[in-house]
Amino acid sequence: MMSFREKVYEITKMIPRGKVATYGQIARLAGKPKASRAVGYFMKTNKLIPIVPCHRVVAADGSLTGYSAFEGIKTKKRMLIAEGVRFKNNKVDLATSYW
């Protein structure tokens, strides 16, 4: 039986290049719809980079939050842009980049 953390990481691995998911979306898909903060914590403590692409998980409004690698949010944004994620007003354009 997989732990909630393991489920979260397995789902996150499925997010394709050029797309993002939200913390809440991942929580729902993993079976705990109210656990978006736990998903955020799992992304923050992810030791399986780049196998688990935590940079592809964003806030519900498309904001970039909580990326701790390298230069933080700047790095997260650069990585997403390089993968083809579109931005609008400094947030991910969820209309085009939502998984």
Residue 25 annotated as catalytic:
no
The CB-side HSE value for 38 (13 A sphere, CA atoms) comes to 16
- Whole-angstrom distance, CA of residue 7 vs CA of residue 29: 9
Q: What is the dihedral angle through the alpha carbons of 69, 78, 20, 49, rounded to the nearest 10 degrees?
A: -30
Catalytic residue (choose from 8, 11, 15, 54): 54
User: Which residue, among 66, 63, 72, has the nearest Cα to 91 in the 3D structure?
Assistant: 63
CB-CB contact of 83 with 17 (8 Å): yes
Provide the annotated active-site residues: 54
